[in-house]
A = this chain, B = another copy of it.
Amino acid sequence: MSTAAEREDRVLDRIGEFRKRRPRLLDTVVTLAHGAGGKSSAALVDGVFLEAFRNPELEQLGDAAVLPLPSGERLAFSTDSYVVAPMRFPGGSIGNLAVHGTVNDLAVSGARPQWLSAAFVIEEGLEIGLLQQIVADMRESALNAGVQIVTGDTKVVGKGAADGMYISTAGVGVIPEGRALSATKVRPGDRILVSGTIGEHGMAVMLARGELAIEADIDSDTAPVNGMVEALLAAAPSTRWMRDATRGGIGTVCNELAQNADVAVILDENRLPILPQVLGACDMLGIDPIYVANEGKFIAVVAPDEADAALAALRAHPQGTAAELIGEVMADPQGIVALRTSFGGSRIVDMLVGDPLPRIC
């Protein structure tokens, strides 16, 4: 027999075991899971990249690094490689992703994205007509996002040494004075917003591969979020933290938030905005939409007294009509994400293990 206090201690111990402890790198070869944005990715980043490059900027592991200039001005700097297969899918292409992904990383860091670089690794034999279409997509996305592609590089590798084309973009944005978003500003009681419906991008790419026996009318949500971010910050200037919910979906983003801010994140399943066709496809495939990649949505943590204004500002934006308050920040249990289910229960949303949807971005 044990007392209630002893039982509580044991529960807290158990939670303590997986809270805040980033997984260790035990593998000897790289697997697809290392690229999925979940536990293995975190282990690889910690065990290989952070270990070697250690510096205060990189250790933030944010979507973008902050560059302090001699003038006192602050820039945000971010990069991503894009390896999505297929290169074109309903709603967009690798070209749209390559621009939006980097623009969005800068935007959720509080910066105004301005300049992009683009580096292409092309497999010999790629049709120039297809390349031109994808580059036209980049052009259109850059115009929509208000950024310029100012420098680039092209490499060609032999047949079989790439899968069509990979694009790496880096971006630079200017952080307006006084703006400072950080997980350290997150407090119990803060509210959690999502800027729109979740899960479309991952499911659109998955279905575009044609390997599944199901068909559904799902377009990728690929879009620049910098307009929505500016609208939100104007309406809710105390906004604590934002992140775009790409690889690993909102489940992964909320886990990073819980761990980095030493808080619990409690989400309401009933409040998650999900298109019925996405929910249906996820159901059939046994995939939890909470882990499915988005390419035009972000999570924001806002002050309790600015939550309504923040939500109204997002909903007033053409891209944010489906924005929703989906949860709140609590003090305990630290490092944990829990989902209050439709049935009145709750379950822990752990970090993703393995990669259910490889090469989604």
Contact = CB atoms under 8 A, between A and B. Distances in A.
A31 B70 CA distance: 44
A193 to B, nearest CB: 25
Contacts of A161: 83, 85, 162-163, 359
Among A47, A79, A124, A138, max chain B CB count under 10 A is at: A79
Interface string A15-37: 00000000001011111111110
Contact of A79 (B33, B64, B117): B117
A5 interface: no
A65 B168 contact: no
A121 B48 CA distance: 14
Contacts of A64: 151
A83 B34 contact: no
A241 interface: no
A53 to B, nearest CB: 4
Among A27, A120, A125, max chain B CB count under 10 A is at: A120
A75 interface: yes
A77 B170 CA distance: 9
A101 B122 CA distance: 19
Interface string A143-175: 000001111111111101111001010101010
Interface residues of A, number: 86
A156 B69 contact: no
A118 B53 CA distance: 11
Nearest to A25: B128
Interface stretch (A129-137, A276-284, A336-344): A129-137
A257 interface: no
B174 A70 contact: yes
Contact of A119 (B55, B115, B168, B174): B168
A41 B154 CA distance: 8
Contact of A139 (B52, B142, B149): B52
A194 interface: no
A211 interface: no
A235 interface: no
Interface string A46-87: 011100110101100010110101111101011111110100
A258 interface: no
Among A70, A73, A150, max chain B CB count under 10 A is at: A150
Nearest to A66: B150
A154 to B, nearest CB: 6
Given A128-B25, A131-B48, A158 B115 contact: no
A35 B156 CA distance: 5
Contacts of A83: 121, 155, 157, 161
A35 B81 contact: no
A168 B157 CA distance: 14
A40 to B, nearest CB: 9
A126 interface: yes
Interface of A: 25, 27-36, 41, 44-45, 47-49, 52-53, 55, 57-58, 62, 64-65, 67, 69-73, 75, 77-83, 85, 114-115, 117-129, 131-132, 135-136, 138-139, 142, 148-158, 160-163, 166, 168, 170, 172, 174, 355, 358-359, 361
